[in-house]
Amino acid sequence: MFKPEKLIFDGKRIDGRTLDQLRPIKIEVDFLKRADGSCYLEMGKNRVVAAVYGPREAYPRHIQDPTKAVIRYRYNMAPFSVEERKRPGPDRRSVEISKVSKEAFEAVIMKELFPRSVIDIFVEVLQADAGSRTACINAASVALVDAGIPMKGMLTSVAVAKVDGVLVLDPMKEEDNFGEADIPFAFLIRGDRIESIALLQMDGRMTKEEIKEAIKLAKKGAMEIYQMQREAIMKKFLEEGENG
């Protein structure tokens, strides 16, 4: 990838966005008919699909938990989703993303309601352009609602990066590659309020002040994404109502 001389020019980013602007987002609920819940989501050039199965009885039995449902989350990148072909199958990065995303969902899914069951969340990246883990979490959250899984709220995810010494919301590939730092967040949002941070990772360095600013910026972006998640879900249920 070619390195631009500057990532910020006259307060604008190389794709024309302001510092606090998200990439365009598109959400389609119930994208796959075989899954219990599903979602197709675009966040800039990211294209991802989430499929949820369950709650269903967990097999083999030794994975069952008599007190709550087991949550499984699998993040996978298609070999054609990136510039240089990605070798198929799990790697360190996808195992890490699956682990932290699963832990974030464990904090919001009311898993105590479904002892001995498993809830499977699969996310597939068809095209990646930085922030694919955040796009996948946003899609998975909508797919869980579509599957009717009870949750304490929505999980909404966005990253903030530091590029050319300033903070930017929802970095794309060039900013992710050539920036100084990058923090993906996921928030638990309930009733239009951010309740808690369910995921926070950090790549690079920021000062304490910058991290505080980054949290503020991420919260603003997350509230905007949350509204889009809600609208997409409402649209689907309204259409279902109209079609009987």
Binding residues for ligand UDP, per CB under 6 A? 82-83, 86, 93, 128-133, 173, 176
Q: Least distance to ligand UDP from the beta carbon of 88, Å?
A: 11
Strand-strand pairing, 117-127 and 70-77: parallel
- E strands, the chain, in order: 8-9, 12-13, 25-29, 37-43, 46-57, 70-77, 117-127, 154-163, 166-169, 181-190, 193-200, 203-204
Query: Which CB atom, from 118 or from 167, has the smaller least distance to ligand UDP?
Result: 167
Nearer residue to ligand UDP within complex by CB, 54 or 171: 171
Nearer to ligand UDP, 132 or 156 (CB): 132
- Quote the least distance from Cβ 173 to ligand UDP, whole Å: 5
Residue 172 tokens, joined: 């794309």
CA–CA dist 75, 92 (Å, integer)? 11
Q: Which is nearer to ligand UDP, 128 or 188 (CB)?
A: 128
Backbone angles phi, psi at 83, to 5 degrees: -55, -50
Element holding 97 (H helix, E strand):
helix 92-106
**Choice between 61 and 87, CB closer to ligand UDP:** 87
Cβ at position 177, least distance to ligand UDP in Å? 7
**Rounded Cα distance, 41 and 125, in Å:** 10
- Choose between 116 and 173: whose C-beta lies nearer to ligand UDP: 173
Give the DSSP per-residue string, 209-241: HHHHHHHHHHHHHHHHHHHHHHHHHHHHHHHHH
Residue 58 or 123 having the CB closest to ligand UDP: 123
- At closest approach, how far in Å is the CB of 167 from ligand UDP? 16
CB of 184 to ligand UDP, least distance (A): 6
Is residue 142 within 8 Å of residue 233, measured between CB atoms? yes
Rounded Cα–Cα distance for residues 25 and 42 (Å): 5
CB of 81 to ligand UDP, least distance (A): 7
DSSP 170: S
Rounded to a whole number of angstroms, the minimum distance from the CB of residue 204 to ligand UDP is 11
